[in-house]
Amino acid sequence: MSHETAPGARLAALACPLPVEGDRVTLAHGAGAGASARLFEERVHAHLANPALDRRHDGALLDLGPGRVAISTDTFVVDPPEFPGGDLGSLAVHGTVNDLAMCGASPRALTCGLVLEEGLPLAALDRIVASLGRAARTVGVPVVTGDTKVVERGKGDGVFINTTGVGVAPPGRDVGPHRVRPGDVLLLSGPIAEHGVAVLSVREGIGLEGELASDSAPLHELVSGLFAAVRDVHCLRDPTRGGVGAAVCEIASTSGTRIVLDESAIPVREPVRAACELLGLDPLFLACEGRCLVFVPEAEAEAALHALAARPEGRGAARVGRVEAGAGRVVLETAIGGSRVLVLPPGEPLPRIC
């Protein structure tokens, strides 16, 4: 080989391979050329098309109207990406919309970043992005901009999704752990741990009997109805990674209060309870993806509970705790009449859950 041709040969060896028609993601799909364009048009844009995304620009300019802008971002790495009751695509939409709703904001737009592993079947990608598109249309929140990258085989895990949500909160609305105070009541919008158990049942190939499905669902309309019925909502939180236990411990620490949970009042469906007992898991620390915690003053508790129960995603809502003066701790009043301090486990009981 001549001196002149050697550099070209080395560059060729480093270049992404030429795209070959087939049913798998290749490195060429992430190279920014024709294969990338085809991947976007055929596998992404076809499912997410809307006027803002149609502009094909580096970002989106949105007329969000009056109010304060809320923004939230999350990356979803669920293993496996498809599970009973949902998949990575719909979960990415629901999770980000719910984070905005927990801030008291109405969701207006989403971004979507895809990280794809070389060798991912295109049929699997198509199912996930199609589900993401359906979820976005159902919620009424368009995906207005995004990005796609491809990594070498063995350096990813099929597909990861990052979504950022933008929303608007009305002037004067203030919800967060800083507003939790003694005298507040804690409500829960429905049964817990269903997402965690559904994902675990597929991941581990466990033949668990009963109806086990993720509770993944958007909560923005539930929250909108709550604000319409209740004048003063102090705090909202969706108990995703770490479940209700982790969320309440964090809020107690941030607010500097003592939160008392009533174990017997916390709703857990029987198939989920049985699965947790079989596997030695505490449902309090397993992820939910369609539930929220609501802190309101005692005087607003009944109206808030009624508003939650009026929505399909709030069926099974319950009053599960109270806030007292204290020093950032959670106490669980057990079903057998005792009590114990709720302690966070040292590690994530079920990683790669959202």
Q: How far apart are CA 48 and CA 167, in angstroms?
A: 19
pLDDT for 28: 80
Taking 90 as the threshold, does the pLDDT of residue 111 lie above it? Answer: yes
Helix axes 122-139 and 88-102, enclosed angle (nearest 10): 30
Taking 80 as the threshold, does the pLDDT of residue 172 lie above it? Answer: yes
Q: How far apart are CA 349 and CA 297, in angstroms?
A: 33
Q: How far apart are CA 18 and CA 79, in angstroms?
A: 30
Residue written as tokens 């794809």? 116
Q: Supply 190's token pair.
A: 């429905």
The chain-wide mean pLDDT, for the chain, equals: 89
The band of 32, judged by pLDDT with boundaries at 50, 70 and 90, is: low
The CATH classification number of 177-341 equals 3.90.650.10
Q: Spell out the domain ranges in the chain.
A: 21-169, 177-341
pLDDT for 209: 55
Burial of 88 (0-12, 13-18, 19+ CB in 10 A): buried
How many other CB atoms sit within 10 Å of the CB of residue 298? 11
Contact (Cβ atoms closer than 8 angstroms) between residue 342 and residue 330: yes
pLDDT for 52: 81
Pick the range with the lowest mean pLDDT from 25-34, 264-273, 327-336: 25-34
Residue written as tokens 């995603």? 313
Taking 50 as the threshold, does the pLDDT of residue 8 lie above it? Answer: no
Taking 80 as the threshold, does the pLDDT of residue 16 lie above it? Answer: no
pLDDT for 15: 46
Q: Residues 193-211: pLDDT tens digits?
A: 999 999 988 887 776 656 7
pLDDT for 20: 55
Dihedral pair phi/psi, residue 149, rounded to 5°: -130, 150
Q: Residues 226-236: pLDDT tens digits?
A: 999 999 999 99
- Name the DSSP letter for residue 17: P
Q: Supply 70's token pair.
A: 């809320």
Q: How far apart are CA 224 and CA 307, in angstroms?
A: 10
**End-to-end Cα distance, the chain:** 52
pLDDT for 177: 94
Q: Supply 139's token pair.
A: 């919620």
pLDDT for 62: 74
pLDDT for 64: 80
DSSP labels, 115-167: EEETT-BHHHHHHHHHHHHHHHHHHT--EEEEEEEEE-TTSS-SEEEEEEEEE
The band of 31, judged by pLDDT with boundaries at 50, 70 and 90, is: low
What number is the average pLDDT over the span 68-95? Answer: 95
CATH of 21-169 among 3.40.120.10, 3.30.1330.10, 3.40.50.1860, 2.60.40.1120? 3.30.1330.10
Q: Residues 291-310: pLDDT tens digits?
A: 999 999 999 999 999 999 99
Q: Supply 175's token pair.
A: 């919800």
Greater model confidence, 254 or 54: 254
Taking 70 as the threshold, does the pLDDT of residue 19 lie above it? Answer: no
What number is the average pLDDT over the span 188-197? Answer: 97
